[in-house]
Chain A
Amino acid sequence: GQQVMQIPQYQHVQEGEDFTTYCNSSTTLSNIQWYKQRPGGHPVFLIQLVKSGEVKKQKRLTFQFGEAKKNSSLHITATQTTDVGIYFCAGSTDSWGKLQFGAGTQVVVTP
């Protein structure tokens, strides 16, 4: 079955530094979504990528979808303390929109 792998599992970042989390699927995806879960909270949708090679930006966050639609990345520049949380990628292959979540990257920011 479809598997979505995400690395790294943990990311300890100094405030102001950049970091990237990577997502790889064993199968070609119809779309990939990214969610953020703050401590004690529930996942909140960040973005969806649909097209091969697509790049989208949200302020300091840059999302990429690979050419083969099997991998994706999230790059955060100038990390702030508000960026703490777990970032999940989630891939979809069916019309119902069923998502296979990656393991998540837990981000800790040191002031």
Chain B
Amino acid sequence: GAVVSQHPSRVICKSGTSVKIECRSLDFQATTMFWYRQFPKKSLMLMATSNEGSKATYEQGVEKDKFLINHASLTLSTLTVTSAHPEDSSFYICSARDRGGRRYNEQFFGPGTRLTVL
């Protein structure tokens, strides 16, 4: 149980285009999802907290107009990187909390999306 999927796993796009990444909780309801960015051999940097049915809360320094987050249902959150540039190339990982489950505080991570902007 507690599986989180991400799609796509890899994406290569041209500079200036927008890319949408989906994060799904497959077997539980996730009222809260988190989006992270990870640079090579670096730690996870929290970008935003996504709550179902409300606006995402962005961390300091993260442009909300650049990284659009939508948490439309209890099992789906999307991250759209708008007008992508090469510096947006990174590994994006989502995680979800099963607030209704026994493993209350544990975050279940998706497999990540490798974004390369040319």
Which residues of A line the B interface, CB within 8 A?
1, 31, 33, 35, 41-45, 48, 86, 88, 92, 96-104, 106
Contact = CB atoms under 8 A, between A and B. Distances in A.
A12 to B, nearest CB: 15
A48 B108 CA distance: 13
B48 to A, nearest CB: 10
A101 B43 CA distance: 7
Contact of A45 (B32, B34, B46, B107): B107
Given A43-B93, A99-B34, A103-B42, 12 more contacts: A33-B107, A42-B109, A42-B110, A43-B109, A88-B43, A97-B105, A101-B36, A101-B44, A101-B45, A101-B46, A104-B43, A106-B41
Interface of B: 32, 34, 36, 41-46, 49, 51, 60, 93, 95, 97, 103, 105-112
